[in-house]
């Protein structure tokens, strides 16, 4: 039985003029039928989008974990729709990580800093003599004031002398940290471009590899965070080792170089990446303190 259609003379999607006999818009393909949106339509729209994303996500994470550089090579070889695209994969995994990070780390950081601060005060009171005090206070100016300037020095004392203020400050830091880590990835891509320069490889190729490498690191951090949170098993000491081994295998497959060449080039990349990351983190911390309102 043919569907009884209530037709429009103008497509509601693209405003093209339609003829009576047209069941679909010739321009955008939307069905020429006036109907109310139903719950069934909403569920169908959601399920088709969600399960498509869901299947791609699990496929992508599976290959990300068990086949280093596979996703990068597949993407650059044109197999784009079979897996989550690098940027989407990174954004999703980093989002999950930072949610867990926010739920599990704040109290530990604040308590740790408070404990270190109290021990430092006790050590200063018991062990420092007048000469030591002169080293900290040069010409009547506090060392932190010399290092940070008076404004930042005063603000840091206000923040780190109050547990509630510390919690607010670290929440503020955590809200900005994803932006910093995302901005560091193009830098890593550029260092990889320099370290593994090869004819036929463009900067974007190295950037795709960097995105997948960072995504793997986040997956690993999610797993270790869950293990500690649920089972109280601390695996943090193994994270760096696993990332280094994974990175070596991935780079070896992706760039197709000898083991010695891959090792030396990765050493170069790692050295400069650490230096730039430390500078970026220091700048980020000072800027955050500058913009934070006590």
- Which of 45-49, 98-102, 163-167, 241-245 shows the lowest mean pLDDT across its residues? 45-49
Residues ≥6 apart with Cβ < 8 Å to 209: 69, 72, 189, 192, 250, 251, 254
Residue 204 lies inside a defined structural domain of this protein: yes
Residue 15 lies inside a defined structural domain of this protein: no
Residue 58: C-alpha distances to residues 111, 250, 263 (Å): 37, 20, 31
For residue 30, count other CB atoms closer than 10 A to its CB: 15
Helix, strand counts (H, E) of the chain? 11, 2
Q: What angle do CA 147, 151, 152 make, to 5 degrees?
A: 55
Segment 35-83, tens digit of pLDDT: 554 555 555 554 555 455 577 888 899 999 999 999 999 999 888 878 8
Residue 104 lies inside a defined structural domain of this protein: yes
pLDDT band for position 235 (cuts 50, 70, 90):
confident
The pLDDT > 90 percentage for the chain reads 34
Tell me the average pLDDT across 124-136. Answer: 45
What per-residue confidence (pLDDT) applies to 237?
81
> Is 253's pLDDT higher than 90?
yes
- Which of 77-86, 113-122, 199-208 shows the lowest mean pLDDT across its residues? 113-122
What per-residue confidence (pLDDT) applies to 205?
93
Segment 18-31, tens digit of pLDDT: 777 777 887 877 77
Q: How far apart are CA 230 and CA 226, in angstroms?
A: 6
- Closest C-alpha to 7, from 19, 228, 202: 19
Q: How far apart are CA 12 and CA 17, in angstroms?
A: 10
Tell me the average pLDDT across 165-177. Answer: 82
Tell me the average pLDDT across 187-202. Answer: 91
**Three-state SS for 17?**
strand
Residue 77 lies inside a defined structural domain of this protein: yes
Residues ≥6 apart with Cβ < 8 Å to 190: 203, 206
Residue 9 lies inside a defined structural domain of this protein: no
> Is 172's pLDDT higher than 50?
yes
For residue 266, count other CB atoms closer than 10 A to its CB: 22
The pLDDT > 70 percentage for the chain reads 73
Tally of residues, the chain: 294
Tell me the average pLDDT across 191-204. Answer: 91
Structural element, H or E, at residue 274: helix 259-291
- Closest C-alpha to 98, from 208, 279, 211, 221: 221
What per-residue confidence (pLDDT) applies to 146?
56
What per-residue confidence (pLDDT) applies to 8?
67
> Is 120's pLDDT higher than 50?
no
Number of domain units in the chain: 1
- Closest C-alpha to 28, from 12, 41, 39: 12
> Is 289's pLDDT higher than 90?
no
pLDDT band for position 170 (cuts 50, 70, 90):
confident
Residue 152: C-alpha distances to residues 62, 145, 149 (Å): 46, 8, 6
Residue 108 lies inside a defined structural domain of this protein: yes
What per-residue confidence (pLDDT) applies to 99?
86
> Is 7's pLDDT higher than 80?
no
Residue 63 lies inside a defined structural domain of this protein: no
Q: How far apart are CA 239 and CA 217, in angstroms?
A: 8
What per-residue confidence (pLDDT) applies to 118?
44
Residue 52 lies inside a defined structural domain of this protein: no
Structural domain range at position 163: 68-291
Burial of 162-182, coded b for 16+ CB within 10 Å and e otherwise, reads eeebbeebbebbeeebeebbe
What per-residue confidence (pLDDT) applies to 135?
44
């Amino acid at each position: 039985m043919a569907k009884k259609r209530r037709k429009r003379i103008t497509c509601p999607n693209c405003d093209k003029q339609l003829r009576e006999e047209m069941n679909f818009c010739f321009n955008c393909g939307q069905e020429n039928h006036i109907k109310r949106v139903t719950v069934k339509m909403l569920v169908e729209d959601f399920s088709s989008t969600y399960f498509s994303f869901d299947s791609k996500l699990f496929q992508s994470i599976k290959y990300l974990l068990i086949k280093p550089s596979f996703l990068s090579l597949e993407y650059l070889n044109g197999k784009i729709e079979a897996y989550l695209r690098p940027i989407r994969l990174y954004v999703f995994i980093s989002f999950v990580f930072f949610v867990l990070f926010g739920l599990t780390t704040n109290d530990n950081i604040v308590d740790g800093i408070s404990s270190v601060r109290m021990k430092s005060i006790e050590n200063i009171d018991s062990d420092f003599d007048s000469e030591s005090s002169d080293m900290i206070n040069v010409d009547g100016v506090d060392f932190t004031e010399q290092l940070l300037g008076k404004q930042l020095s005063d603000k840091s004392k206000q923040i780190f002398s109050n547990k509630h203020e510390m919690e607010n400050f670290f929440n503020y830091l955590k809200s900005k940290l994803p932006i910093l880590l995302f901005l560091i990835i193009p830098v890593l891509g550029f260092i990889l471009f320099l370290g593994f320069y090869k004819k036929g490889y463009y900067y974007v190729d190295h950037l795709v590899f960097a995105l997948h490498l960072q995504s793997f690191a986040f997956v690993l951090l999610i797993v270790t965070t869950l293990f500690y949170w649920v089972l109280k098993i601390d695996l943090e000491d193994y994270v760096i080792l696993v990332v280094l081994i994974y990175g070596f295998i991935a780079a070896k497959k992706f760039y197709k170089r000898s083991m010695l060449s891959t090792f030396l080039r990765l050493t170069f990349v790692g050295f400069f990446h650490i230096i730039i990351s430390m500078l970026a983190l220091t700048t980020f911390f000072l800027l955050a303190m500058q913009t934070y309102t006590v």
